[in-house]
Amino acid sequence: MRFAAALVSLGHGLATRFGQERVCDFLASVLLAGALANSLAGVLQIMGIPKEIDSFVSNLGGIRATGTVGQANLYANYIALGEASLVHLFARARLRKMAAIAGGILLAAAASLAASRGTILYSTAFALLGFIAISMRKDEHAQTVGYA
């Protein structure tokens, strides 16, 4: 409980000092970078890990990719956080279109390698939220977020 209170206090202090949008963009950037690195590790687990980086990527324990997390459902959760961060950064024009497309393809491929039902759940939830964003607001920003 103390840890949660410390995180709330830290978040409030950061948002007060640097602004909420800047803090959210930074957190989304960090989550996206971690998810992209983790997705690359998951792809390497399935395709085969080169000897040069064998000590940095955990070996595949079954038939499902786990990245560096070690559990397929948590891996799918982390990848979904990366997908949400990618959409957030793209909608706020912090990522270029081609970078967002390349990152989205890598994250989607990595999510499918997890073979987790959570991947379908997250994709459905994101599609539903996109539909709501498009139907509730008709401005350009809502359209960008909804279609992303």
pLDDT tens sequence for the chain (148 residues): 888 888 888 888 888 888 888 988 999 999 999 999 999 988 888 887 777 776 677 776 677 888 888 888 898 999 999 999 998 898 888 889 899 999 999 999 998 888 888 888 888 888 888 788 777 776 666 666 665 5
> ∠ at Cα 74 (91, 99), nearest 5°?
30
**Residue 52, C-beta contacts closer than 8 angstroms, at least 6 positions apart:** none
User: What pTM was computed for the model?
Assistant: 0.81
Tokens 């997908």 -> residue: 83
Q: Which of 73, 99, 66 is nearest to 85 (CA)?
A: 99
Q: Are 14 and 20 in contact (CB under 8 A)?
A: no
